[in-house]
Amino acid sequence: MNKRKEQVKDIWLYRHFIHMCKKHPWTFNTPIRHIEKLFLQHHQTLKKGAYFDIVMSRIGVTPEHELSYYRNELLSDKLLKDTFLRGSDYNKDLKFEKIYNKLFIKENYIANYYALIRETKPKIVIETGTADGCLTSWILSAMHRNNLGKLLSIDIPPQKGKLTMTTSLSINNVGHLIPQAYRDRWEYHEGDAKVLLPKLLIENDVDIFIHDSMHTRTHMLFEYNCARALMRPNTIIISHDILWNKAFFSFTASHNLKGLSCISGPNLGLTINKFEPYEEEIGLGVVKIT
């Protein structure tokens, strides 16, 4: 066994990660040894059942409840369920009952989009990419329960066949899966994240940033690095579709951060925005000229 394989503590995790990576086009002509580096360096793929507790410990929060508690709480949200099941009234391209049945039991999604919000009680969250509002609605449900928080969403209404979108929505239907009772904590900002994201990050003290907009390497790195530079230490960066390309892994490696994902859904990643003492000593954020 070579040195790379010796580093793999759980061969099942390793094989599953490689298998999931190989489903994505960028890896078709990529040697296995290059994909191995993603698994071994600056990233930790966690076993099912361990993800939530390890994320909480990395953040430095002792959870009030286990993940199963929040799963049951989310499933008991009748407003969410009813809104999901009426989703086809606004978007006939998707089967929302099927989405509800699949999505509402996924450990990593419940951990990142609901339990994490309930436990850390963020005041400001920014997301890029809203579309129907599947996971946007979870964040707002958690904020509603917390009686605290504001979600700022940046998106361009999707048009089928453009910017990798497979469905179309009018501006009035963006976020249609968000129950009316939760919308008082939501601000929708129509436009390109390349313009709006730096502006909103500067104007707000953001606790959590979530990328789910255009999944090109250049755009993903732009959003990650904006969040990195304009958010304070120990804030949280979450990204969808980290296996579409190497952007998330390149980002964490270049900043000496540790990425985390759950083996049941390794396409969703999280990292904690930590800085070296030298950087903190010099000063972070935007320099104000007086």
- Tell me, what amino acid is at 94? L
- Number of neighbouring beta carbons within 10 Å of residue 195: 11
Q: What is the pLDDT of residue 165?
A: 72
Structure token digits, residue 189: 């900002």
Higher pLDDT, 56 or 46: 56
Q: Binning pLDDT at 50, 70 and 90, where does residue 212 land?
A: very high
Neighbours of 34 (CB within 10 A): 11
Average pLDDT over residues 194-223: 97
The mean-pLDDT minimum among 47-51, 65-69, 223-227 falls in: 47-51
- Give the pLDDT of residue 289: 83
Residue with the bigger pLDDT between 265 and 34: it is 265
Q: Average pLDDT in the 194-200 region?
A: 97
Average confidence score pLDDT of the chain: 90
CA 250 to chain centre: 17
Phi first, then psi, for residue 236 (nearest 5°) are: -120, 135
pLDDT given for residue 288 in this prediction? 82
Average pLDDT over residues 15-26: 74
pLDDT in tens, 140-170: 999 999 999 999 999 999 888 777 777 888 8
**227-279 pLDDT per residue, tens:** 999 999 999 999 999 988 889 999 999 999 999 999 888 899 999 999 999 89
For residue 264, the model assigns a pLDDT of 82
Cα–Cα separations (whole angstroms), residue 265 to 70, 109, 111, 260: 18, 8, 12, 11
**pLDDT over threshold 80, residue 284:** yes
Going across the sheet that includes 186-190, the strands are 43-46, 259-262, 265-273, 235-239, 208-211, 124-128, 150-155, 186-190
Assign 10 a pLDDT band (cuts: 50, 70, 90).
low
- The predicted structure's pLDDT at residue 3: 46
pTM: 0.90
Q: Which of 4-18, 42-56, 198-212 tops mean pLDDT?
A: 198-212
- Mean pLDDT throughout 83-101? 89
| pLDDT more than 90, % of the chain | 65
Q: How far apart are the C-alpha atoms of 27 and 231, rounded to whole Å?
A: 32
Alpha-carbon gap, residue 24 to 20, rounded angstroms: 8
Topology annotation, domain 42-282: Rossmann fold (3.40.50)
State residue 48's pLDDT score. Answer: 84
Confidence of residue 39 (pLDDT cuts 50, 70, 90): low
User: What is the SS3 string spanning the chain?
Assistant: CCHHHHHCCCHHHHHHHHHHHCCCHHHCCCCHHHHHHHHHCCEEEECCCCHHHHHHHHHCCCCCCCHHHHHHHHHCCHHHHHHHHCHHHCCCCCCHHHHHHHHCCCHHHHHHHHHHHHHHCCCEEEEECCCCCHHHHHHHHHHHHHCCCEEEEEECCCCCCCCCCCCCCCHHHCCCCCCHHHHHHEEEEECCHHHHHHHHHHHCCCCEEEECCCCCHHHHHHHHHHHHHHCCCCEEEEECCCCCCCHHHHHHHHCCCCEEEECCEEEEEEEEECCCHHHHHHCCCCCCCC
The model's pLDDT over 52-90, given as tens digits with 9 standing for 90+, comes to 999 999 999 999 999 999 999 999 999 999 999 999 898
Q: Specify the pLDDT at position 71.
A: 96
Question: Encoding tokens for residue 289?
Answer: 């000229």
Q: What span, in angstroms and rounded, lies between the C-alpha atoms of 113 and 137?
A: 9
The length of the chain, given as a count of residues: 290
Give the mean model confidence (pLDDT) for residues 96-108.
89
Report the DSSP pairing between strands 259-262 and 43-46: parallel
Q: How high is the pLDDT of residue 5?
A: 52
Q: How far apart are CA 160 and CA 170, in angstroms?
A: 11
The pLDDT score that the predictor gives to residue 143 is 98
CA-CA distances (angstroms) from residue 229 to 25, 58, 258?
30, 20, 17
